[in-house]
Each structure stands twice: as C-alpha cells, then as structure tokens.
Amino acid sequence: MRRACGRIFLRRSRAAALLCVSVALALTAGMAQGAEPHPHVGRLPGFPAIRGVMPVLGSSTAVMAHEKLVTSAFAAVRARPFKGLKGAAEPNKELFAPCESEELFLATHDVCYRGGPVLRDPTVHLIFWQGGVEAFPEHYVETVERYFEDVAHDSGAQTNVFAVDPQYGDTTGPGEYKLSFSVVDAEVRHDAFPVNGTNCIDETKYSKGPCLLDSDIQKEVKTVAKTSEKGLHDVYVVLTPHGVGGCFEKSSGQCAYKQYCAYHGDFGGDGVTVGQQTLYADLPFVGEVPGCDFGVHPNSSTDNGTDAAIDDASHEVNETITDPIGSQCAAKAEYASECEPNAWTDVIGQEIADKCLPPESTVLGTYGEPLGVVNPLEGAASAYNQLINGDHYFTQRVWSNEAGLFEGGCVQRAIGASFSVSAGAAATVPVTFNGSASGASGDPAVYWVWDFEGEQVGTSSPTSSHTYAKPGVYEVALTAYDAYGNAQATVEAFNVGAAPVPPPPAPAPLPITIKEPASPPAHLTATQLAAMLGLPANGRKLSGVGPFVLGRAECPPACGVTLQLYARITSVSHRRRLTRLVPVGVARHQGAPKGAVFVRFLPGSLGELLLSLNAKGRVLLRKGHALACKLVVTVEGQEGGAWQIVRSLTLTSGGSTARHARR
C-alpha cells in the first residue's frame, strides 16, 4: 500500500528538477496472522504484500484508527537513525539527484522517487467477474467502461485528476510526459467462484456470498491476460457483484467491507526484473458501503454502486501509474531495496492517493470543492468534481508535489502556474510580475502568492511588483490557486540589470516667500505605533499552540496590516551548510488562503491580530519544542504613510504567559 519519500524543486526546465532517491523503509513480506510488520512501517493495512489498499473509513472510530496508524508510522521513521539506501541501484544521475535529506521529506510530507518505473501509456482491461451469483446492476458495466473510455479520450488533458501523474518521472526520463490511456476492453465473465469457506462472509448485506482471496483474483487475471498483454503496459481491473466478499488470505482478518474498499498489486516475474509482472486491481462492489461509498452519485441511484466503483478505480489506477510494482519482498526484508523496485511514495510508503485520506486530508476534503451538480433537485448528492469528455464523475483528489513552494497538497486537477517579467528589469526600479497565464482552460487562477527571496505577497490580482537594490540573477516563486482550492507552484530565475543612470539634478528653484508655514502632518514612530497596536516586546516568548494573539489593530492609527512569520532553517546540501528563512505563519483572517495576508480595517473598526503556525511550522515546533522566529509587521496609515516593525520571538509548545486561543 505504501512506500518512501520525496520532493520536487520546480524550474522552467524540468531537466533541472531534483528527484529523490532517499532512505528505504523496513518492510515486511505480509500481514498474515502471526506475522509482525517491521516497526518502521507501522500497521498499515496490507503493507507491503498488497499495495495501494484503500481503507474503509465508515465511522469516526475508523477514521481515528487510520490517523493513528499514519501518525505512528511517521513517528517510527523519525525515531530511527538515518541509514540511507542499502544495496539499491541509483537512477540515471543525468536525470535525477538524491533527496536532500530524510528530515526534509518528513517536514514536507511530499513523495519521493524510490527507483523503478512509472506507467506512461497504460491499457486498462476491465474484468466483470459475475460468477454464478447476482448480476451486476443495470448500467453498471457500461458506465464503468464509459469512464475509462472518457479518460482515454482526454489523455494528456489538464482537466482531470490524471493530469497530476505526469509530474512523476522515472529512470527512462523526467516528468512532464503526456500520459496516454488506450481504449479499454470490457468482459463479463461467468467463471464459477471458488469455495473458500466463510471466513470473509459476515451477516451484513455487503458480504453474503462467495469469499474471494487475493490468490483467486490473481488466478482469474491469469485466465484473461494474454502473454502479449502482460508487463508494464496492461492493468487488469477485476470487479465483482453485490454480496461477494474478499480477504487478502485465509483467516488474515484483512477483508473487504471491514478493512478495505479496494486495492492494487502485481504478481509474476522473478521479483526483481522490471517488466515481467502482471498489474491488477481488485474492486469489490461497494455501493452503499459506509466509508467506501460517500453518497455522491452523479451517474447512478444510491443502490447502483457505479459512482463508488469509479471513485475506487480512480484511486487504484492513479497509484498503479505512479507506483506500479514493489509488492514482492523477501521474507525478512528490512529495506525497500530487498523488494521489487518501486517508484513514488512518501517517507512511510503512502502512494499519491493514500496521502489524500485522513489525516493529511479531512474526510470531506478528500474530494475538494465540486464543480457543480448534475441534478439540482438532488443537490450535493449529484455533485461532480471531474468533467471528462463531457461526462460527470466524483472521485477523490491525489497528492501533487507541485501544489506548493515548500510542500505539496491534494488537488483535483493540474492548473498550471506561470508568469512573465516586465522587460528591461533593472535595479532600484520596480519590476512587474504577471501571473495571469496561470490556471487551466475554463478554470483560471483566482489568487497568487509570490515569494521574492523569502518575502511573500498574497494577492487576488495577477500582477505584483518588487524592487531589487542591486543587479544580479534572482529567483521568484509563484503559487497559483483556482476557485476550487487546486494549486500549482513554479520557480523561475531572471536577470536584473544595472540601475538606470539618474537624471541630472534639476536647477535650484527660485527662492519664494511663504507667508504662513504649513502644519506638519501627523506622524508616529514605529515604536509608538507598536505600543498602540499592543505588539509583543522584542525577544518575547509566545505559545505556539495557535492561533495566538499578537496585538490589536484599529483605524486609525492602522488601516492595513500585513503579517509575516519566518523561521530560520539550516540544512546541509552537497557538504555545504545552507541557511534560509521559511514562512511558518498563517494569519487568521476569514476568506484568505495560505501565505502572508493583508488585513484591512475600516475607519473606527477594531480587531485582534491573530497568527497560527502552518504545517511546516507545526512540524518544526514539535521537533524542537521551541522555534526562533522573525515577525515582520507592515502597517499602512489612513493617509498613505507606512511603517515596518520587526520582532524576534520564540514560539514554545506550551507554558507561555501570552494570551492565546486554544483549539
């Protein structure tokens, strides 16, 4: 189900992208009863004998249990010493560079390249194994088949969730390839189901018939797959009808409707040579199964199960594309290098769809904002978040390393981020940056966060400007957001020329006589203003258990406040110690996305200045229990004056006397 760590650093030239081959996790050959997994992995369902297991999250208890598994797995990796890869072949160094450090990928939660292939032109074969039991519901077969035909039709488009996959490359080439699906074939098979007893049959309506083990699924695939249709181009998706149960192995306790909704894996070959495996996925019937069917059905009635099957298929096929092999491990495997090569996973082995389940996404956040509804009378029950070849679907989001500058995130589609720089950029003169080309067709960007050498500016306008004191080569980073919360980041370098020659001084004006001297404008020093705003003193310790109150602002004296919080991070890269400032604060202001937030106060209004740590800041604070930060507060007056106040603060994990609001 899972693998290890990664981070892409973005440039206009993807040949310059740094892909990761980082530390291998201790693995176990299975989860059969009596076999204990390695402590570095945690008890994640099916890992690693069956990868890509989509867990059942049918209750708050199940969600909390899954969150505990993931959290404990991350904690186990943090606790062990860094050992690096053991015996694994390194990828082509012309295309890839090692991951910077295990610590970095624990902080960002991004996925990392672990070696092995990705799929660039998969053909999906649908096997509707009906056996001798209840037939599939009406329109079930043709709707699932239509979904994959639509995905094949829109191959290479940026408008659906599969557009995220091509950022992840392999040893044959970097990312940004054009993912191309082949038109699928579908077959309804009536082969008799094997008799395996009742160990995976319960008294509910979900599993009343035959019990299919993973070995049975593999045998059925073998009867369908032709010799010429095996390897890293063909994916066999097995779907079974209502009432058919399933388990990984006999008496394993890892069964459908209890532990998993679906899974994918591979078998065959010699366990080492890439390309000799057969790839497959198992999709039991999950219509109306709590935790597998989330009740949103743009294509079917509530008991049809079609939309739930398409959602599970999207999860498993996206993971098969980015991490197709890696499930066959030695019996005493301690490192990923002792299994088949695998591709893209995070530091605890989660694949790109796994990462968008709790705790890294809420249950509702798994799907993001819908694009609309098919039937207004049904409302949210017929919502859709994918429009593929003109048809409507509702599938979960997947992880994109490129969704943010410092860490990735879950997205529904790729939207693109790009910007232009005003011609003739020169020192001492404002340089204009234009990000209006960001977004996708029919889905424009609506918010832009710029990073000018550590100084962040968030705006709902596509343009921003920045002045450089000296000529040179500078990097600017941009994260673009669409109206549905999808994001994309990019970093580009450009040249700033010499400052223009100043004009000759103007001739001295003729002396004039002022009869009545003008009154000087009202003015406050930064120290006076800080006192009026109630900002903490320099060097103050504050509780990092946010949100925490920094002060109170009113207009006058302040009509606009920009809050920025940075932590100083030191890392080692290529035997060089690098120090940089990283944004770790998020202003608490309704309606504002991530990044530095400009808060405007109307004349006569009064409000608290609140900050809370972002994900990066929380990780750093938990690790060190104290976090040295730099707070930059920029204040704009009602008459156009501006002041900047800088404070050095220390955030602690508790015990501060400062006022703060607890969650």
Looking at residue 663, its pLDDT comes to 30
The region of weakest confidence among 229-233, 349-353, 377-381, 435-439 is 229-233
At residue 649 the predicted structure's pLDDT band, cuts being 50, 70 and 90, is confident
Please check whether residue 661 lies inside any domain of the structure. no
Instruction: Flag whether pLDDT at 589 surpasses 70.
Output: no
pLDDT digits 0-9 by tens, 78-126: 776 655 443 333 433 333 333 445 566 666 788 888 778 899 999 999 9
Whether residues 136 and 207 share a domain: the answer is yes
Residues 300 and 356 in one domain: yes
Q: Which residue has the higher pLDDT, 525 or 562?
A: 562
Looking at residue 432, what is its pLDDT?
96
User: Strand 243-247 vs strand 207-213: parallel, antiparallel, or unpaired?
Assistant: parallel
Last residue of a domain, one of 376, 401, 426: 401
Given a cut of 50, is residue 21 above it in pLDDT?
no
CA pair distance 535, 634, nearest whole angstrom:
12
Of 3-12, 171-180, 200-209, 479-488, which gets the smallest average pLDDT? 3-12
- Give the whole-number percent of the chain exceeding pLDDT 90: 34
pLDDT at 392: 97
pLDDT at 518: 31
Indicate if 393 and 485 belong to the same structural domain.
Answer: no
CATH number at 491 reads 2.60.40.10
Position 30 scores a pLDDT of 28
520 domain residue, yes or no = no
pLDDT attached to residue 441: 83
Clarify whether residues 454 and 531 are in a common domain.
Answer: no
pLDDT score recorded for residue 437: 94
Residue 31, domain member (yes or no) = yes
162 and 94 in one domain?
yes
Q: What is the pLDDT of residue 588?
A: 57
pLDDT at 590: 45
3-state secondary structure of 103: helix
pLDDT exceeds cutoff 60 at 22: no
Residue 640: band (very low, low, confident or very high) from pLDDT cuts 50, 70, 90: low
Q: Residue 19 has what pLDDT?
A: 25
Q: Which domain holds residue 375?
A: 14-401
Q: Are residues 321 and 464 in the same domain?
A: no
For residue 625, is pLDDT > 90? no
Evaluate whether residue 659 is within a structural domain: no
Question: In this structure, are 318 and 441 located in the same domain?
Answer: no
249 within 8 A of 32, measured Cβ to Cβ: yes
Cα distances from 408 to residues 10, 103, 355, in angstroms, run 12, 16, 11
Q: Which of 401, 432, 464 is the last residue of a domain?
A: 401
Tokens of 427: 């020192």
Mean pLDDT of all residues belonging to the chain:
78
Q: Are residues 388 and 422 in the same domain?
A: no
CB 2 within 8 Å of CB 351: yes
Q: Dihedral of the CA atoms 271, 274, 276, 279 (nearest 10)?
A: 90
Tell me whether residue 222 is in a domain. yes
pLDDT at 252: 67
Number of domains in the chain: 3
Convert the pLDDT of each residue in 314-349 to its tens digit: 999 999 999 998 766 655 555 544 567 778 888 778
- The CATH number covering residue 555 comes to 2.60.40
Between 656 and 327, residue with greater pLDDT: 327
On whether both 305 and 445 belong to a single domain, the answer is: no
Q: Does residue 228 register a pLDDT over 70?
A: no
Q: What is the pLDDT of residue 241?
A: 94
- What pLDDT does residue 463 have? 96
